Amino acid sequence: MDYTEKWRAERERKAFLALADGTVFHGVAFGAPKDMLGEVVFNTGMAGYQEILTDPSYAGQFVTLTAPEIGNYGVNPEDIESRGLFLSGLVIHELNEPSNYRSAMSLDAYLKQAGKPGIYGVDTRALTIHLREHGNQRAYLHVEDNDRITELPNDRMGGLEAWAVEQARNWEGLDGQDYAATVTCEEAYEFKSKDIQSIGDSPIRQFAHSPIPHVVCYDFGVKTNILRSLAKFARVTVVPAKTPAEEVFAMNPDGVFLSNGPADPAAVTYAQGNIKKILGKVPIFGICLGHQLLSIACGAKTGRLKFGHHGCNHPVKNLKTGAVEITSQNHNFAVLPDSVPDCLEVTHVNLNDGSIEGVRHKTLPAFSVQYHPESCPGPHDSEYLFEEFKKLIHLSFHP
């Protein structure tokens, strides 16, 4: 049976995505036969679906991929960015069988193995336009086998789809929710990358006679390539999101990294308190959720964007150099411009909507950006930020 015939045969396993505003999108189920609740977002990246799937920042979300052909290169263990899949499900237009020599399994099999549902055959262009116009939506994804439908209250509110809409409306959503605690590691560990046999001659020489710096990374949903980027010049210890600042100080860090992560930064209150204690003691570099948490710790506030920034093609202007970076992003919340305290200066802005993309403390060694400089997936325009962090740590060695 060729793939077209397989697709037609699977039309019997119908699926739909019911939004809280009453809109319903139909398609075909794949992946795990499991209904889920979540928030629908769209990602404008043209490639890198495996890295997107394994980004913990998507916890609690249905990711809609705007690229029409998905699954072509399958899934392989080298491109996994975390220990698992934390998203609620995947929404795509066309599902393809893999035809790449690096593929270890199909996207369908990968989602089944991870226990995550997917839906294909969806008009993802129409869904994306709907989200741009009306904002991200809470949703209920129905993909379970048809014999399960008879167990649900089909007559309630006019049928199964209306019932699913009601479930979406009643879901608590992501606002005010601490999802970082659900995706973080369970205990501290030292990162060892098989791609980096040693920390490397060039970075070490730049530290002259100083010891190799030690960076402690707060895991709010960290990706593997972030750790690889840090490990190019430092020894890296990863700690759980709720690790007290006192325990971090006991590790004698030369720098602290605040990772990316999911959901609402205002709900991660324990991290804000720890960052306040660390500020001024050692250099700090934060990205994504870490950027928001650093800003809040300094006195700023955050709020929800209409449909967030998700993709690897977002233009950001560096206000110091005037250069425009094409960046990889994944966030629904942002630092509110009117709330930025005097101790912070804005360093980067988004050229699409003018939102804040970076800040730096005016007197203390701390800075952050809203995007993902590790570039996995995405362009490498922002890799220089890791070099800036290294230089900031170097200054702490030689004040």
The maximal CA–CA distance of the chain, rounded, in angstroms, is 75
| Identified catalytic residue from 288, 298, 312, 376 | 288
Cα–Cα distance measured from residue 90 to residue 139, given in angstroms and rounded to the nearest whole number: 12
Cα–Cα distance measured from residue 230 to residue 365, given in angstroms and rounded to the nearest whole number: 17
Cα–Cα distance measured from residue 37 to residue 173, given in angstroms and rounded to the nearest whole number: 9
Cα–Cα distance measured from residue 399 to residue 395, given in angstroms and rounded to the nearest whole number: 5
| Backbone φ, ψ for residue 267 (5° rounding) | -85, -15
Task: Give the burial class of 198: count Cβ atoms within 10 A of its Cβ; 0-12 exposed, 13-18 middle, 19 or more buried.
Answer: exposed
Cβ–Cβ < 8 Å for 72, 107: no
Helices 269-278 & 289-297, crossing angle to 10 degrees? 70
Cβ–Cβ < 8 Å for 168, 140: yes
Cα–Cα distance measured from residue 230 to residue 217, given in angstroms and rounded to the nearest whole number: 9
| 374 given a catalytic annotation | yes
Angle in degrees, CA 358, 49, 12, rounded to 5:
135
Cα–Cα distance measured from residue 175 to residue 147, given in angstroms and rounded to the nearest whole number: 34
| 310 given a catalytic annotation | no
| Pairing between β-strand 24-31 and β-strand 61-65 as defined by DSSP bridges | unpaired
- The first and second tokens of residue 228, run together, are 């690889």
DSSP class per residue in 162-180: HHHHHHHHHS--STT---H
| Identified catalytic residue from 93, 291, 309, 372 | 372
- The first and second tokens of residue 118, run together, are 């997917």
Cα–Cα distance measured from residue 60 to residue 42, given in angstroms and rounded to the nearest whole number: 13
* Closest of 346, 296, 330 to residue 56, by C-alpha: 330
Residue type (1 letter), 124: T
Cβ–Cβ < 8 Å for 138, 168: yes
* Closest of 221, 345, 355, 368 to residue 293, by C-alpha: 368
| Identified catalytic residue from 81, 144, 325, 374 | 374
Omega before residue 377 within 30° of 0, cis: yes
Catalytic positions, written as ranges = 288, 372, 374
